[in-house]
Amino acid sequence: MKALARWASLLLLCAGLPACSNSRDNQNPFANAARTLPPSDRAVLLFTSNLYSVNGRAGRELYAVNADGAEVQRLSFCNDTSACDYAEASAAPDRERVGARRASVDTNGDGTVNEADGTALVFVDLRRGVEALLIPASRRVTGVDWAPASGDFFIYSALPGGGGNEDLFIVEYNGKNDRNLSCPADAATNCNVTVRERRPRLDSLESVATFQRVDAAGVSVVAIFANSASQPVLSAGPGDLDPVFSPDNRRVAFRRLTDAEANGGRGSYDILSVGIDGTGLSVLASGPAFRGSPDWGPAGLAWVEADDSGQRLVTTAADGSSARAIVTVPTTVALTNPRWLKAK
């Protein structure tokens, strides 16, 4: 049986049940208008940046770019009328809608709106310029992935409604049927509340997810989520983050912390990949640079790389070769979280 049916069944279990509903179920999901643009047909990557501003503390917006680095296109404009910060976005298969982690309120009073204030999960229709709040910022959403095959739901990581450590959840793209995967109500065993499950990404069949598992001691490893009772670990840690499946679902790429103090405290990271059975660990990129979360598409890998000379949006072949910087900005400009767009 395909895992797509498994994930879909989890959503259907909640359909019509008051315990699984939320306050958004009977509201218009397109209530709030916003100025946005869809990516051009030539765009291949989505990323977040504050390229529009000379203020390095300005909030990030959504951008798209072609494979050769041409036509850098701003897609969102929420900072034109208020302060916001798009931390990350995952596009629907149609490329015109995104699920985004976004901060909109300076909750800590430091004068800047950013991830430290907590990010919500918002649905944004880029062509229609409408959006809806799906998961509030009080839940502190730390990862999101739009189901790449069906396009019916998001998998995301956030705090449970009652507090505690981060869990994995799925929710329909209209905000209905929010369900905890890590600690489901019908779980046969008690959940380990000391563990944090973060940064989930689905395989292309929506059969399983890979995620970052952080134990009570702070050791972070890459794991596979099949269900709440089956989560095999793929890497040794202690600083392995941001996993993503290869297009053929046979391997997982991730980044590994090598020096927490390097690059002005941003750290230095290598990019590695490993088989889904935990064998065949391979280093794809290494050295003293900061490297952000990787993404893996049919054209290869993409990540942000930074050092004293600046920041670069890098694309490579699947084995890490043929590295090419397609967008280069100063270190004072935010450049984060590239995601491949599905080809037109």
Give pLDDT tens digits for 156-165. 999 997 678 9
Encode pLDDT of 278-324 as tens digits: 999 999 999 999 999 999 999 999 999 999 888 999 999 999 999 99
Sign of CA dihedral 291, 297, 298, 304: negative
* Mean pLDDT over the full length of the chain: 89
Which residues contact residue 232 at a Cβ distance below 8 angstroms, ignoring those fewer than 6 apart?
A: 223, 224, 226, 278
DSSP 23-46: TTTTS-TT-EE--B-PPPTTEEEE
- Contact between residue 254 and residue 243 where contact means Cβ atoms under 8 Å apart: yes
> How many Å apart are CA 75 and CA 128, to the nearest integer?
12
What pLDDT, on a 0 to 100 scale, did the predictor assign at position 12? 46
From residue 122, alpha-carbon distances to 18, 126, 131, 150, 319 in Å are 22, 12, 7, 19, 34
User: For tokens 């994930």, what's the residue?
Assistant: 7
Three-state DSSP class for residue 219: coil
Topology (CATH) of 3-292? Neuraminidase (2.120.10)
Encode pLDDT of 61-104 as tens digits: 999 999 999 999 999 999 988 899 999 999 999 999 999 999 99
Q: Which amino acid is at 299?
A: A
